[in-house]
Structure 1
Amino acid sequence: MAAVVTRRFGEETLQFVGKKVAVETSDNKIYNGTLAGIDDKLDLVLDNVEGHGILKLMLNGAFVKEIRLMEKPFDFRALAERLERAFPGLVKIREDVGAIIVMDKIKVTQAGVEEGSGLAADRVRSIYDSFMKETKK
């Protein structure tokens, strides 16, 4: 059971990487920036830290009190459900790498189709494009 909880925590934490976050430390300082990296001890790296004149900041996880996600995470499940309608039984979500794999050969991330070619990849790209247009509304 503990392994499942730990894995799930790791998957949730990965959704923060590359996103704008606000980190509060144990001494009540708040740093806003883009989460570039994090480990299981909550040691983290922030890029483009706002308002402190800092480009990159490394924080020891022992001093991290709170990490707040400041932007909506990409909804891999909703996109996967939509892709599943066109490719039943051929869609796998890989949250550990931040991707959806279609037909074991087409890789879709929040940036779009990153691997794969041909008619199936074109169809996946079309579904991704319409999904992105609808979710930005």
Structure 2
Amino acid sequence: MGYAMRKLVVELASLVDKNVEVRTTTGRVYSGKLYTVDPSSFNICLADARDNEGNTYSRVFIYSHAVSEILVREMILDLEKLAERLEKVFPHMVKYYEDARVIVVMDRIRVSEKGVEGEGPLAEKVKRIYEEFIAEQSR
């Protein structure tokens, strides 16, 4: 898999559990939470979806050939930039795993879009940096 394809797969995977709008080639529009994406076919599944006519569905499966656009309504956290900021405070102790969208600080503090996992004074420092970064991103 080439770099561009791998990057696309990572980007789509980062949208899982986010609210998206999917426009199809037939003109239908679905809004819902992206439940899953098949990385080989790019078929997608939305959960708790609504179409442009107001109908609601617990699950909508859309084949990749029918997808015209996927629009994201939520802010996506730039974990790579956050990792760079953490690296300035914790030199040579920060690893960013792009495919998993996880930052690991000192092999014991995990940072993701969901927050910071870990305990102790160093984890608290990472949490402060994380919260400052989130506040800056939402401005």
- Paired with 1:132 and 1:3, the residues of 2 have a C-alpha distance of 31
Amino acid in structure 2 at the alignment position of 1:124: V
The 5 Å alignment of 1:1-137 reads 2-40=1-39, 41-50=41-50, 51-114=54-117, 116-137=118-139
- With the length of structure 2 as denominator, give the TM-score of the two structures: 0.85
Question: Would you say the 8 A contact 1:80–1:92 is kept in 2?
Answer: yes
Residues matched between the structures, number = 135
- Paired with 1:6 and 1:135, the residues of 2 have a C-alpha distance of 27
Question: Would you say the 8 A contact 1:84–1:91 is kept in 2?
Answer: yes
- Paired with 2:24 and 2:135, the residues of 1 have a C-alpha distance of 37
- Paired with 2:91 and 2:61, the residues of 1 have a C-alpha distance of 43
Aligned-CA RMSD value = 1.7
4+ residue stretches of structure 1 with deviation over 6 A? none
Unaligned stretches of 5+ residues in structure 2: none
- With the length of structure 1 as denominator, give the TM-score of the two structures: 0.86
CA drift of 1:113 comes to 0.8
CA drift of 1:4 comes to 2.1
Secondary structure (helix, strand or coil) at the match of 1:54 reads strand
CA drift of 1:3 comes to 2.4
Amino acid in structure 2 at the alignment position of 1:111: K
Amino acid in structure 1 at the alignment position of 2:45: V
